[in-house]
Structure 1
């Protein structure tokens, strides 16, 4: 019987489990989450290594935020924003197994349909109540995705003059009825932050008007959002999941649906924290691997152009390169992509050998560019400071590259050290080991961009704004014939 690994990424915890074809959890592990996507990816890789066996055929990952499941691309996120990480591709490269990614609520709904409260129902709407509010929709027992990211139920508007939401609009139900919003209701009432939702229910049962007002303020906008979803989608079941799903279901008891047109059964989800990993595992076994990138943009004119994604090791340049390549459809040539197969076949070597192979790989990249058709734009991922500037200029001249732009990736040395250390066991023999970390920290203090042509600066400790990068690329290259 084939097995899978299901992974559920949360703001507080990362959960993973080996899953049977029937949804049984055979082994589970967990790690703490982190805001740095590179650290999250490293911890996920560690969990996968603990769970992987020859019987594991695929990996599924539930990701918070907007996900284009067909392309295997994360478009946006919250506390854990993986939009800057080519998550599916990098996990596939690490494991050699197909990886399916989807929004975490879609994964949870898949599990509830298979094993939980959604069994026997065909058309389901699910709200997950936690730090924020997620959503998922199933019609005829198939997850509805629309053009890419349908099901963002946390962004149903319940007050056009309300709080500003992370999505940029006002009055989304996430701003009134999430766990974060409940904390705001409690604070505004002057109660201590330590009061729990269970204590609120206990105070309400004892006749505490203040507790009742807080629960009303939390539940009534959620009821409005549920009524809207029922009006639009006509489900036969609404599920409330997430860490506060059961509490939200109880709070709705004092905010019943009033309009006769919008009546629908509302239930608490049954699988709790296991829903995400079970759903991810089942979806991995059921789905095809992600479909790949969008079709490339037409190449402009007759000149060869290069996007130089520059930065020292662990600066995040590979993440940026892959993100740009996914969105622009331009070929990507990376120094490690050329070098690593030789290290694997040859069995590694010392530092001098690694540097020599790096120079040869650098030359190979520009030889490939020189053979590309006129009008090609390539993305080159490398630390361009490891050789003298005149070496690059000679390669560009021989390759016939007539325009370059630069994306400079950087982070503080301490961050680079942590990232580099977390990936030591993922690199082929021949790459510098832990002894290189102090040198890396010093390099971060003096490293500079090339400043050869237009420059875009990327601080990779922050969420990477790929929309801004791609808009800039189109702008600076627009006039090239």
Structure 2
């Protein structure tokens, strides 16, 4: 019998699990709530308990698995299997996740940063078409990413793939990292709203978006894109600016890495082809000809499954 993989996607509110074949086909899925109380001390025991419980439920044994892979927020030491600084999990001190999970389940364990494993998922079974060179950008509350080059996930000295901190506007908005003008400050869900509010102040024409901002309504990135699709003049200008920064970042990333695909995912990417076409327009404007004609920009396909699928692929290194 072919051995299976387990993928774990650890988030601040939910922990998602999946059992997959070696080919990346999801066979079972479940999730539990993330208990971040008591400095996150319940998280790893809850993961162990949930895996063991479901193996019992499915009448499976540890020896039927190649390994467990997990994506986690925070700073990850891939070799040691430790995490530190995952503040949305209340993990302020070093967590020896690998040692604890292997001891608790009897199954080999590997982990990586959550954005990196989402990149692996999209590269392996999603829009990346299993190509050897793929860049992944996720547009959510922040902007994250992961880079696969020559079939390998890039870590550098630990922070490779931090595409959210590519500078697109020197001296621009202040970022949580302390720098100004990072892509994250413009193209994240919160960044889009920030751009909209600032541009609304200077805008004098008729616009439903301006009215919402002026009225103190709860403006969201989805609202901005929806109004832009309806040709709201201000919303169109906001989306154009955001897509210009994204296109510029994609061109710069491609000049260094020359990926076959740049895959865009995350909540903001729900704007779909409307977003994609405008990013691609600016990408073509800023990229040099070789890149422009060979690198393709695509929307992510796997949605919420990217994390568990990519995490599971980490365990393939334990395959005989």
Give the gaps of 5 or more residues in structure 1.
Answer: 289-481
List structure 1 segments (4+ residues) > 4 angstroms apart after TM superposition: 186-189
Structure 2 CA distance for partners of 1:243 and 1:34, relative to 1, 3 Å? farther
How do 1:320-339 and structure 2 match up within 5 A? none
Cross-structure match for 2:147: 137
Structure 2 CA distance for partners of 1:83 and 1:249, relative to 1, 3 Å? farther
Structure 2 CA distance for partners of 1:82 and 1:247, relative to 1, 3 Å? farther
Cross-structure match for 2:82: 73
CA distance in 2, matches of 1:279, 1:98: 16
Cross-structure match for 2:23: 22
Structure 2 CA distance for partners of 1:183 and 1:265, relative to 1, 3 Å? same
Structure 2 CA distance for partners of 1:44 and 1:192, relative to 1, 3 Å? farther
How do 1:404-419 and structure 2 match up within 5 A? none
Q: How many residues align?
A: 287
Cross-structure match for 1:272: 303
2:7 is aligned with 1:6? yes
CA distance in 1, matches of 2:197, 2:14: 25
Cross-structure match for 2:286: 259
Counterpart of 2:88 in 1: which secondary structure? coil
Cross-structure match for 2:33: 32
**Taking structure 2 as the reference length, what is the TM-score of the superposition?**
0.80
RMSD: 2.5
2:236 is aligned with 1:212? yes
Cross-structure match for 1:457: none
Counterpart of 1:285 in 2: which secondary structure? helix
The offset of 1:100, in angstroms, is: 0.2
Listed one character per residue, the Cα deviations across residues 312-355 of structure 1 (whole Å, up to 9, x for unaligned) are xxxxxxxxxxxxxxxxxxxxxxxxxxxxxxxxxxxxxxxxxxxx
CA distance in 2, matches of 1:58, 1:152: 27
2:190 is aligned with 1:180? yes
Give the gaps of 5 or more residues in structure 2.
Answer: 201-212
CA distance in 1, matches of 2:247, 2:22: 36
Structure 2 CA distance for partners of 1:251 and 1:2, relative to 1, 3 Å? same
2:175 is aligned with 1:165? yes
8 A Cα contact 1:246 1:269, kept in partner: no
8 A Cα contact 1:223 1:252, kept in partner: no
**Taking structure 1 as the reference length, what is the TM-score of the superposition?**
0.55
The offset of 1:287, in angstroms, is: 4.4
Q: Choose from 264, 286, 307 the match for 1:240.
A: 264
Listed one character per residue, the Cα deviations across residues 388-434 of structure 1 (whole Å, up to 9, x for unaligned) are xxxxxxxxxxxxxxxxxxxxxxxxxxxxxxxxxxxxxxxxxxxxxxx
The offset of 1:186, in angstroms, is: 4.6
CA distance in 1, matches of 2:117, 2:316: 12
Structure 2 CA distance for partners of 1:200 and 1:183, relative to 1, 3 Å? closer
Cross-structure match for 2:133: 123
The offset of 1:59, in angstroms, is: 1.2
Larger Rg: 1
Counterpart of 1:79 in 2: which secondary structure? helix
8 A Cα contact 1:70 1:148, kept in partner: no
Cross-structure match for 1:419: none
Cross-structure match for 2:205: none
The offset of 1:8, in angstroms, is: 0.7
The offset of 1:70, in angstroms, is: 2.2
8 A Cα contact 2:138 2:144, kept in partner: yes
The offset of 1:231, in angstroms, is: 1.4
